[in-house]
Amino acid sequence: MNKIRVGAACPLLFRGDVIGNAAFNKIFQPANESRHRYRVMLGSAGSGKSVNVAQDYIIKLSDPQYAGCSLLVVRGVEVSHLNSTYAELTGAIERLGVGSIFDTKLNPLTIRNNITGNSVIFRGCSDARAIERLKSVSVPTGKITWVWCEEATELKDSDFDVIDDRLRGQLPDGHFYQMTLTFNPINSNHWIKSQLWDYDSADIFKHKSTYIDNRYIDADYKKRMERRRELDPDGYKIYGLGEWGEVGGLVFPNVTIGDYKDKEFDFYTLGTDFGFNHNHATLLIGWSDNEPYVVREVVITEKTTAEIIELCEKYRMPKDVLMYCDSAEPDRIKEFKKSGFKAYPVKKEKNSVSNQISWLKNRCIYVDGRCIYTQKELQAYKWRKNPQTGEYMDEPVSFNDDAVKALIYGCEPVRKQTRIKTMKRGDLGIW
């Protein structure tokens, strides 16, 4: 058993590939040991790359030899951090058993190691103001030496240049600058492919991982991926095999990610798609000028209806707005009604799916950056491709679409011009 000390009060104990309750896949060892300036980590969904990077950084931030080295974490939209990178890093702290030496704050999002003084700062790059915040970011002690760009395909090459330019100046012996990019290879025309992945340089470390390499992935996930290989071969190449894909066939290219916490809406609706073995999804949708804004989500699997209702109440899904649900589950709709929700089944009609999609395609769809499941589903929701002709058909791939269906259901009262009581954000008490 090897021992790395992060202060006399808190040793990290390594037992093979396990530290505390944190498990490591051996495939990531070369990446974790890399000192290259650019650590480019391409991977499929479920490969474990983000979990690994989070654990790797928590260990480094806790190591006295790196005292004075802080981490900047970047996503396209700053508010996306809460349910993604911040959750990954705090989860790593818990698994590694080092919670006693870290302070974590939600407002603003920050993490600080009390022994080394190293900090984690979270930023976005969605507009000029966000870029200025990136340029001026600082830490109380030491320097920002490491940057983690999660979902790096959200960034423009100009964003990358701004961040890269921050990593400059003389460092003490043993310290190093490094930018880590983690992403699914969704677009073969992306600048990351041409400027980093396909470019040979001594400064670039490249790493590829897939869910097949993740020995901690569960059997059900593997079955879902096998199903995706059959239903969506193009999507499987990207999200299953980690191969560079093509942008094309997206059902909803009209999606904008932003921060809508403080926006006033004309009214709200709820949409629910029931699930147990696959995800259950309930979305809160705000409406402004007849455009939908997904502002809150509850997406969970393997929960009973009673447990889901409890979660909806915990996350303050309002009970006094219309909720439209999957009509195939009348008993579950009754349970929601008994708990006080205004739950109704969506009335199926001829060509209902096609009509619902066409209606949504004629609008802008806005998603708050905190709703990470809805983001990911919409960005991967594609038309089915004819295997003989290679042409897209007028039928979406029915895979990993629970939040999308909840969105479609939640739009039904507006699409069908059902009378809706106008409410303000303060009336609902949801923020």
> Residue 421: pLDDT band by 50, 70, 90 thresholds?
low
Q: What is the pLDDT of residue 17?
A: 59
pLDDT tens digits, 303-324: 999 999 999 999 999 999 999 9
Asked if pLDDT for residue 381 goes beyond 50, the answer is yes
Sequence-distant (6+) residues with CB within 8 A of 409 are 271, 272, 273, 324, 325, 326, 346
Q: Residue 379: which H helix or E strand, with range?
A: helix 372-380
Give the span between the Cα atoms of 413 and 269, in whole angstroms: 8
Torsion of CA 252, 256, 261, 267, to 10 degrees: -50
Architecture of domain 2-218: 3-Layer(aba) Sandwich (3.40)
Sequence-distant (6+) residues with CB within 8 A of 130 are 78, 123, 124
Q: What is the pLDDT of residue 289?
A: 94
Task: Confirm if 250 and 376 have CB atoms less than 8 A apart.
Answer: no
Average of per-residue pLDDT across 172-179: 97
Asked if pLDDT for residue 153 goes beyond 70, the answer is yes
Sequence-distant (6+) residues with CB within 8 A of 290 are 363, 414
Tokens of 375: 């983001």
pLDDT tens digits, 91-115: 999 999 999 999 999 999 999 999 9
Of all residues in the chain, the percent with pLDDT exceeding 90 is 72
pLDDT tens digits, 58-97: 999 999 999 999 999 999 999 999 999 999 999 999 999 9
> Residue 27: pLDDT band by 50, 70, 90 thresholds?
very high
Q: What is the pLDDT of residue 426?
A: 56
Asked if pLDDT for residue 365 goes beyond 80, the answer is yes
| 412: Cα separation from own chain's centroid | 26
The candidate with the shortest Cα–Cα distance to 182, out of 156, 211, 214, 148, is: 148
Q: What is the pLDDT of residue 418?
A: 65
What is the pLDDT of the chain when averaged over all its residues? 89
Give the count of beta carbons closer than 10 Å to the beta carbon of residue 275: 20
Q: What is the pLDDT of residue 347?
A: 85
Q: What is the pLDDT of residue 155?
A: 95
Average of per-residue pLDDT across 140-150: 96
Q: Which CATH number fits domain 255-428: 3.40.50.920, 3.40.50.1100, 3.30.420.280, 3.90.1010.10?
A: 3.30.420.280
- DSSP-assigned beta bridge partners for residue 273: 281
Of all residues in the chain, the percent with pLDDT exceeding 70 is 92
> Residue 12: pLDDT band by 50, 70, 90 thresholds?
very low
| 178: Cα separation from own chain's centroid | 22
> Residue 247: pLDDT band by 50, 70, 90 thresholds?
low
Give the span between the Cα atoms of 391 and 264, in whole angstroms: 42
Asked if pLDDT for residue 39 goes beyond 50, the answer is yes
| Secondary structure letter of residue 79 according to DSSP | G
Give CATH 3.30.420.280 domain extents, the chain: 255-428
Asked if pLDDT for residue 277 goes beyond 80, the answer is no
> Residue 425: pLDDT band by 50, 70, 90 thresholds?
low
Q: For 185-295, where are the alpha helices, taking DSSP H only?
A: 191-192, 219-231, 233-239
Q: What is the pLDDT of residue 249?
A: 87
> Residue 263: pLDDT band by 50, 70, 90 thresholds?
very high
> Residue 278: pLDDT band by 50, 70, 90 thresholds?
confident
Give CATH 3.40.50.300 domain extents, the chain: 2-218
